[in-house]
């Protein structure tokens, strides 16, 4: 989708107004803004596979059912396609979050996207709808992506954790360890040209880094040979509208990479991957 430069500024201004008009979002800095009511249409869409083109309800045979309960990380990484990966995630009991979730949130967007957006974990509304990045943070993300010519129908969106931490608390290390094979396999199967890590947890999980978000934003990284750009989480932008323009600039860097004129930027490999 082509968006003229003047229109991009207008979209950015609307995004800023959306953030300015937002009341306090959820308590966690990571997951998308939580609102209690889940639209019936979105709910029905999530149950049918959302907009992801990844159908829910792939047959969970005995082998996949075992993976959902006690599968090893290596076994999760060998699941051959997204429908079966989703089926295992939908039934997953590999960490304690399965006890408190309403439903897992696997992904949204298109499986053949050139851009993969990775956030932290579902919030309250995501938990209710089964879709990532809905509510005000999701609207803000959509506007920012649109401002650089990337609608939601042109990206693949998911989180590090597929299930909501109670009260939107931060993910625990053991939860990230158990759930990250789903994300890593999503990355392999979608095979995007560029990855965007929204927020500290996504960036640190993918890069194996303990650096601050501010430092990680300063350069383009390499993840498995593909550029990875780190930026702020949309939920954080709702509380700090001054971070919207820097985020937009990060997304413009993604646009430049996609357009083939950002390859000259210095890129760094994840720690320990060389
Ligand atoms: S958060 Fe991930 S590992 Fe934990 S139950 Fe949900 S899908 Fe399974």
pLDDT tier, 186 (very low <50, low <70, confident <90, very high otherwise): very high
Nearest-angstrom CA–CA distance, 171 and 169? 6
Question: What whole-number percentage of the chain has pLDDT above 70?
Answer: 74
CB 28 within 8 A of CB 170: yes
Ligand 1 site: residues with CB under 6 angstroms? 89, 92-95, 97-98, 104, 161-163, 175, 178-179
pLDDT > 90? residue 19: no
Q: What is the pLDDT of residue 43?
A: 37
| Residue 54 pLDDT | 60
pTM of the predicted model, to two decimals? Answer: 0.83
> Span 38-261: which CATH code?
3.40.470.10
* 271 or 85, which is more confident: 85
Which residue's C-alpha comes closest to atom 3 of ligand 1? 179
pLDDT value of residue 153: 87
Distance from residue 162's CA to the centre of ligand 1 (Å): 6
Segment 109-132 shows an average pLDDT of 95
User: Ligand 1: which atom is nearest the Cα of residue 92?
Assistant: 8
Distance CA 49, CA 45 (A): 6
Contact present, 132 and 122 (Cβ < 8 Å): yes
Q: Give mean pLDDT, residues 245-265.
A: 85
Question: What is the distance in angstroms between the CA of the first residue and the CA of the last residue of the chain?
Answer: 36
Q: Are strands 220-223 and 155-159 parallel, antiparallel or unpaired?
A: unpaired
Q: What is the DSSP letter of 267?
A: E
Residue 29, pLDDT > 80, answer no
* Cα 124 to ligand 1 centre (Å): 16
Interval between CA 129 and ligand 1 midpoint (Å): 17
Residues 6+ away with beta carbon under 8 Å from 212: 200
Q: Report which of 254, 255, 268, 124 is spatially closest to residue 208, judged by C-alpha positions.
A: 268
Q: What pLDDT is recorded for position 264?
A: 42
- Say what the pLDDT of residue 267 is: 55
- Cα–Cα distance, 168 to 121 (Å, whole number): 8
Average pLDDT over residues 46-53: 44
What pLDDT shows up at residue 274? 36
Q: What is the DSSP letter of 99?
A: G
CA dist 110 and 51 (Å) reads 7
Tell how far the Cα of 148 is from the centroid of ligand 1, in angstroms. Answer: 32
Beta pairing class for 115-119 and 155-159: parallel
Question: Which of 23-32, 57-66, 239-248 is modeled with the greatest confidence?
Answer: 239-248
Q: What are the residue ranges spanned by the domains of the chain?
A: 38-261
Bridge partners of 149? none
Give the mutation target among 56, 67, 69, 89 for probing the ligand 1 site: most ligand atoms within 8 A of CB: 89
> Is the model's pLDDT at 265 over the cut of 50?
no
């Amino acid at each position: 989708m082509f968006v003229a430069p003047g229109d991009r500024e207008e979209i950015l201004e609307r995004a800023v107004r959306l953030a300015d008009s937002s009341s306090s979002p959820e308590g966690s800095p990571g997951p998308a803004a939580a609102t209690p009511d889940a639209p019936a249409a979105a709910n029905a869409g999530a149950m049918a596979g959302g907009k992801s083109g990844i159908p829910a309800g792939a047959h969970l045979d005995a082998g996949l059912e075992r993976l959902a309960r006690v599968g090893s990380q290596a076994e999760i990484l060998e699941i051959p396609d997204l429908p079966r990966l989703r089926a295992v995630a939908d039934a997953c009991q590999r960490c304690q979050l399965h006890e408190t979730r309403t439903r897992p949130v696997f992904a949204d967007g298109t499986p053949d996207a050139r851009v993969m957006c990775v956030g932290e974990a579902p919030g309250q509304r995501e938990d209710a709808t089964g879709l990532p990045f809905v509510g005000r943070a999701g609207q803000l993300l959509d506007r920012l992506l649109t401002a650089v010519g990337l609608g939601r129908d042109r990206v693949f969106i998911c989180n590090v954790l597929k299930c909501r931490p109670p009260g939107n608390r931060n993910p625990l290390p053991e939860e990230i360890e158990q759930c990250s094979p789903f994300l890593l396999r999503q990355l392999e199967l979608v095979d995007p040209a560029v990855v965007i890590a929204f927020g500290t947890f996504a960036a640190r999980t993918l890069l194996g880094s303990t650096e601050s978000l501010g430092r990680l934003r300063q350069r383009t990284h390499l993840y498995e040979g593909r550029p990875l750009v780190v930026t702020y989480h949309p939920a954080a932008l709702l509380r700090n509208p001054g971070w919207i323009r820097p985020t937009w600039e990060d997304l413009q860097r993604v646009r430049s990479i996609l357009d083939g004129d950002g390859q000259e930027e210095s890129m760094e490999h994840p720690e320990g991957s060389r």
